[in-house]
Chain A
Amino acid sequence: DGGITQSPKYLFRKEGQNVTLSCEQNLNHDAMYWYRQDPGQGLRLIYYSQIVNDFQKGDIAEGYSVSREKKESFPLTVTSAQKNPTAFYLCASSIGTTGETEAFFGQGTRLTVV
């Protein structure tokens, strides 16, 4: 099944620990995104990347970090500085950021801080 893959599906983290969420795509898309989904708040953009070795902060970047060393991969690290990290995280990709490009989403990772 080609497309965009997130792992793991469920993740538990102790307070004070950093954790990295994986996102891989085989669609040859240039742009990749990370969204946070909380009940009643829709999808909020954390970070996005338009091209390899480049990324930009979204609306809620504080407490998160990303890297884009390969076109296929865009991992998200939730750091201990993120005050309320328990949420559902969605990764997405698109051909580019310009134009009427469809965003393709992964299945998501549910992070719980215990």
Chain B
Amino acid sequence: GENVEQHPSTLSVQEGDSAVIKCTYSDSASNYFPWYKQELGKRPQLIIDIRSNVGEKKDQRIAVTLNKTAKHFSLHITETQPEDSAVYFCAAKEVWGSARQLTFGSGTQLTVLP
């Protein structure tokens, strides 16, 4: 089955700096890669996703890049703000195949220091 590894497990940045979280996946059949954000005491929520036929996707201050050959994808947050502090999870999925469940990474605790 799919295995998703996520690094780092914790990340502290100064407000206004950029943050990068990286994930690698094992199953070359995976073709959908969402990112979820879980604020303290709240439920995980989808913040951005990318398909395997796209190399990069951007939404305001957040962007995701995908390298299919290397089987890794990354979340980039620019101009970080205190409200970006949360746990971020990457995930991978084969959209139309038999293994159609999301496999999550282990999470990254991002702390934005004022």
Among the 9-residue stretches B14-22, B38-46, B55-63, B71-79, the one with 4 or more Cβ atoms under 8 Å from chain A is B38-46
Q: A40-B106, A42-B6 are in contact. Are A100 and B32 (CB under 8 A)?
A: yes
A33 partner residues in chain B, CB cutoff 8 A: 101
Give the distance to chain B from A24, nearest Cβ to Cβ, in Å.
14
B 3-32 contacts with A by CB, 8 A: 4, 6, 9, 32
B36 partner residues in chain A, CB cutoff 8 A: 103
Q: A97-B101, A100-B51, A103-B102 are in contact. Are A43 and B32 (CB under 8 A)?
A: no
A106 touches B43 (CB 8 A): yes
A107 is an interface residue with CB less than 8 A from chain B:
yes
Give the distance to chain A from B101, nearest Cβ to Cβ, in Å.
6
A42 partner residues in chain B, CB cutoff 8 A: 4, 6, 89, 104-107
Cα distance A40–B87 in the bound complex, in angstroms: 11
Q: How large is the interface on B (under 10, 10 to 19, 20 to 34, 35 or more residues)?
A: 20 to 34
Cα distance A42–B89 in the bound complex, in angstroms: 7
Pick the residue among B6, B46, B107 that contacts A103 (CB under 8 A): B46
B46 partner residues in chain A, CB cutoff 8 A: 102-103
A43 touches B104 (CB 8 A): yes
Cα distance A17–B102 in the bound complex, in angstroms: 31
Q: Residue of B at shortest CB range from A102?
A: B46
A52 is an interface residue with CB less than 8 A from chain B:
no
A84 is an interface residue with CB less than 8 A from chain B:
no
Cα distance A98–B99 in the bound complex, in angstroms: 9
Interface residues of B (CB under 8 A from A): 1, 4, 6, 9, 32, 34, 36, 42-46, 49, 51, 89, 95-96, 100-107
Interface residues of A (CB under 8 A from B): 33, 35, 40-45, 48, 58-59, 90, 97-100, 102-103, 105-108
Shortest 8 CB-CB distances between A and B: which pairs? A42-B106, A105-B43, A43-B104, A97-B100, A42-B104, A105-B44, A102-B46, A100-B32
A-B contact list, 11 entries, CB within 8 Å: A35-B104, A40-B106, A42-B4, A42-B106, A44-B104, A90-B43, A90-B44, A103-B44, A105-B45, A106-B43, A108-B43
